[in-house]
Structure 1
Amino acid sequence: MEEEQEWTGEFNPMADPEERRHLLSVLDSFRSYRRLAHFNATHVRRQAFYSLPSAHWALLSQPPISVLDSLSHIDDLIDSNAELAEAIFCAGFQAFVAPSLDSEDVARVIPEKYAHDPFQVFSAVMDHLGGKATTNDLEKARSCVNQFYREWSVHGGVEREKCFAPIVSTLASEFTLRRERDATVEKQQMNVLVPGAGLGRLVFDICKAGYSVEGNEISYHEIMASSLVLNHMSQPGQFKIAPFALNGSNHLTRADQFRTYDIPDVHPASELAEGDVGEMSMSTGDFIVLYSKPEYKDTFDAVATVFFIDTAPNIIRYIEAVKNCLKPGGLWTNLGPLLWHHASRTQDPEEDADDRKRADKGEDVGIADPGSVELTDEEVVALVQHFGFAMEKHEPGSVETGYITNTRSMLQSTYRASFWVARKK
C-alpha cells in the first residue's frame, strides 16, 4: 500500500478550533494510555489490596495466589499495550499535527535530551498545544487497542470469519453473475464501499480478494490506528497486546487473563504488493454528509456494512446515502446486530442546540442531526425496501458471533446478527 493511500483529505483539522480540540483530545488519549492504565489497573488495585486486614493481604501475597506478583505482571502487559498506543499517537501526530507546525517554534519547546525520541518530541509539542483527553476519548483509546485483537490477530480470525466471510462470499457471487453476463469484466472493475471501516481489516480483505475498495471512517481513533497498521508497520507480529489483562473479572486462571497476541497477523503492505489485488483508497468524514453528495451519485457497485448501521441516530439518513452512492443494480450487503449506539448517549445541551441551529439553516450535519429512533430488524428491512431496494436475502439471527470476545471467560456475550443482501432497483 502506497503512502498516499493514508487517511488524508483537504480539510485541516488544526485550522478549526473545535476540530482541533477534539483531535488533540484523541491524540492525548493514546499518549496517556500507559500512565492511566498503570494508575487504574494496578495502582488503585494495590491500594485496595493493602486496605485488607494485614493477615489477609499477607496470605494472598503468597503462592499459589500471589496477588502482588499478578499485579506486577499486569504492569508489564500494560507497557506492552502502551507501545502500540504510543505508536498510534506518533502516527496520528505526524499525519494531522506535524504538517501545520513551524519547525522553529517546535525547536524552542523541545528539550535537547529528547531530540531523537519522536514520542518525547511529539509529547512536548502536545503539552505546548494544550491537548487534554476527555474521559470518553480515553475509553475509546483503550477499546481501540483491544480492537486489534479482533481485526489484526490470528485468534481474532474466528470473529472475522463469522462477520467478514459472508460479505466477501456475496461479492464473489455477484462477480460471478456479472462475469456470466460479460466475460471481459475484471474484479478490479467492481468498486466496493465500506462505511465504518474501523481498523481497516475488511477493507484490506476485500482488496486482497481482488476488488477495488474505498473505506470510510469518521473516528479519529480508528483513522489513526488503521493508518498505522496499513501504512507504517514493518513486519507481522510487530506488537504484542494483552486485550484482557486490565479486566480482573470472570477469569478461570491468571494465565487466561495474561494471554498475549501478536499483531498484525499479516504485513498488509507486503500482502498488497503481491498477487492479483484490487486498489484501495480511504476517506475521512461523516458517511452521511460525504456520500450523499451529487459527485458520489451512482459510484459504487457494492456497499458492505458490518456492525455499522446501528451507529445511526436516524437510519433513514444512512439508507438515503447508500442509495445515492450505489449504482442502479448495485448490491448492499449488511451484517450486524442493532445495538443502537445513540440510545444511551448523553448529548451536551450546547452542542445539541448548535447542531439544531445548523440544521435549521439547511446545513447537513450528518450523524449529528437532531432526533433519533430505534428500530427492529424487521422494520429496518421494510425501510430499505421502501427506499427502492429489492431484498434478495434476509437471514435474521443467522450469524452468532462475539465482538472482541475472551473465549475463555466465565462470561460470554454473543450477538445473533442479522445478515441481508439488497439490490438497488
Structure 2
Amino acid sequence: MEEDEWTGEFNPMADPEERKHLLSVLDSFRSYRRLAHYNTTHLRRRAFYSLPSAHWTLLSQPPFSVLDSLSHLDDLIDSNAELAEAIFCAGFQAFVAPGLDSEQVASIVPDKYAHGPFQIFSAVMDHLGAKGTANDSEKARSCVNQFYREWSAEGSAEREKCFVPVLSTLVSEYSSRRAKDKELQKKDIKVLVPGAGLGRLIFDICKAGYSVEGNEISYHEIMASSLALNHMSKTGQFRIAPFALNCSNHLSRTDQFRTYKIPDVHPASELSEGDNGNMSMSTGDFIVLYSKPEYKHAFNAIATVFFIDTAPNVIRYIEAVQNCLKPGGIWINLGPLLWHHTSRIQDPHEEDADDRKNAYKSEDIGIADPGSVEITDEEVVALVQHFGFNIEKHEPGAVETGYITNPRSMLQSTYRASFWVARKE
C-alpha cells in the first residue's frame, strides 16, 4: 500500500463540510494528550483533594498511594499519546500536506516550532482553525485502545475467535475451487473486507496468500490503519495502556497499568517475505462505492466481521454485496447485532417529502439514507436468502468473544456472535 492510495480522486479539503470533519478527526488525535490528562488525572486529583484532609492524607500513603498512582497514570497517558500523535502526523501528511507548499508553511509556522513534524503540523492546524468535537475525541481514544485488539500479541485471543473462522472458510473455498481448476492460485481469489478497521484482518488474509481489498469510511480508522500498515518501523514501536484510563473494576493497580507493545508484527517486513497475496484499501461509504457498476461481480468472497450492525438499513448492505460478489461467490459473516443507529425519523417540517425523494434519486447518500431498522439474526439470514443467497452454514451464538476486553477486569462483556456463510446463486 502506498500513501497516495489514501487520498484518491476525492479531495476532502476541497469540500467545506468534509474539510471540517477531517480537521476535527485530526485534532482529536492531536489533542489526545491534553484531554486525557485533563479528564483522567486532573479532575481526579481535584476530586481527591476535596475529600476530608484526614482521608486524602491516609490514601496518599502506602499501601494506597493514590497520588503516586495518578502520577503513574500521567506517564501512561503520555505513552498512549505518542501513538495518537503518530496517527495525527500520518493523517496530516496524507490528507492536508499535499495541498500545502513550503512557502505557505513557512509563513504559518514560527521558527521556534520548526524543529519537529508534530509542532509544524500542529501550527498549521491552528492556522486552519481545526477544532475537534467531543464525539471525535472519544473515537480517537477508542481507536488507540483498538490497537490492543488488532496489533498486540495479547489481543490475538480476540482475533483468533473472529478471524480464524473467516480464514478457515477461505481455505475450504480455495480447496474446493482448486479441485475443479488445478491452475487456480490463491492470489486469484479476490476478497473484500468492508469495515476494515485498523487493517489486521486484511493483513492476515493477504499473508494467507489471497488478494484482498479493505474498505473503511471512518477517518479515525483510515489514519490509524495507514500508520499500522505503512508507517510502523519495527515491532514493539509503541507501548500502550488500553485499560488504564478507565479506573473502575480493577483488581489491582498492576492490572490497571498493564502495558502492551504494538505492533506484534512489522507489516512491511512480513509482506516482503513469502508467497503473499495483493493488498489494497479503499476509502468511502461501502454502500455507495460497491453498488457502482464498475464493482459488479468484482470479488470471489466478502468477509464482514463485526460490521453488518453498523447499517441503519441492512438491506442496503445486502444489495451492495449482491452487486460486487461474483455468482457462486461466498459471503462470510461473523459478529453480533449491536445496531449502531437508533431509529431515525425524518422531521416532516424540515423539508417537503417530494423534495427529499428527488434529492435521494439524484444522489445515493448510502449510510446517510433516512430511516433505520433493527432486526434479529433469524431475520437477517432470511433477508440474505430473499436476495438470492444460499445459506451454507449458520451457527448463531457459536463464537463467544469480547471486543477490546480487559481479561483481568472485574467486568467482562462477551458477545455470542453469529457466524454464517452464504453463497450467491
Give the TM-score band, short-chain normalised.
over 0.9
Would you say 1:364 and 2:364 are equivalent positions?
A: yes
CA distance in 1, matches of 2:277, 2:145: 28
Partner of 1:337: 336
Change (3 A) 1:352 1:196: farther
Q: Give the alignment of 1:133-282 within 5 angstroms.
A: 133-282=132-281
Amino acid at match of 1:9: G
Offset from partner CA, 1:182-220 (integer Å, 9 cap, x none)? 111000000000000000000000000000000000000
Cα drift, residue 375 of structure 1: 0.4
Cα drift, residue 111 of structure 1: 1.3
CA distance in 1, matches of 2:322, 2:233: 39
Partner of 2:72: 73
Partner of 2:407: 407
Offset from partner CA, 1:85-112 (integer Å, 9 cap, x none)? 0000000000000001132221111111
SS at match of 1:245: coil
Contact 1:208-1:277 at 8 Å conserved across structures: yes
Would you say 1:386 and 2:386 are equivalent positions?
A: yes
Offset from partner CA, 1:25-66 (integer Å, 9 cap, x none)? 000000000000000000000000000000000000000000
Amino acid at match of 1:168: L
CA distance in 2, matches of 1:349, 1:183: 60
Change (3 A) 1:282 1:89: same
Contact 1:356-1:369 at 8 Å conserved across structures: no
SS at match of 1:226: helix
Partner of 1:398: 398
Partner of 1:24: 23
Q: Give the alignment of 1:305-320 within 5 angstroms.
A: 305-320=304-319
Cα drift, residue 350 of structure 1: 11
CA distance in 2, matches of 1:128, 1:93: 14
> Which range is displaced more, 357-366 or 177-186?
357-366
CA distance in 2, matches of 1:345, 1:43: 37
Cα drift, residue 362 of structure 1: 2.8
CA distance in 1, matches of 2:44, 2:290: 47
Offset from partner CA, 1:241-277 (integer Å, 9 cap, x none)? 0000000100000000000000000000000000000
Contact 1:306-1:335 at 8 Å conserved across structures: yes
> Which range is displaced more, 378-387 or 360-369?
360-369
CA distance in 2, matches of 1:246, 1:347: 38
Contact 2:215-2:281 at 8 Å conserved across structures: yes
Contact 1:312-1:367 at 8 Å conserved across structures: yes
Partner of 2:423: 423
Partner of 1:119: 118
Offset from partner CA, 1:334-386 (integer Å, 9 cap, x none)? 00000000128899999999994774443100000001000000000000000
CA distance in 2, matches of 1:371, 1:358: 16
SS at match of 1:176: helix
CA distance in 1, matches of 2:209, 2:192: 14
Contact 1:359-1:365 at 8 Å conserved across structures: no
Contact 2:287-2:317 at 8 Å conserved across structures: yes
Contact 1:192-1:211 at 8 Å conserved across structures: yes
Q: Structure 1 unaligned runs (5+)?
A: none
Partner of 2:293: 294
Contact 2:325-2:424 at 8 Å conserved across structures: yes
Cα drift, residue 7 of structure 1: 2.5
Partner of 2:42: 43
Offset from partner CA, 1:311-335 (integer Å, 9 cap, x none)? 0000000000000000000000000
Aligned residues between the structures: 424
Amino acid at match of 1:229: A
Change (3 A) 1:275 1:140: same
Percent identical across equivalent pairs?
A: 81
SS at match of 2:342: helix
SS at match of 2:6: coil
CA distance in 2, matches of 1:65, 1:353: 63
SS at match of 1:343: coil
Q: Structure 2 unaligned runs (5+)?
A: none
CA distance in 1, matches of 2:350, 2:148: 34
Question: Given the two structures, how large is their TM-score scaled by the length of structure 1?
Answer: 0.97
SS at match of 1:192: strand
Offset from partner CA, 1:254-308 (integer Å, 9 cap, x none)? 0000000000000000000000000001100000000000010000000000000
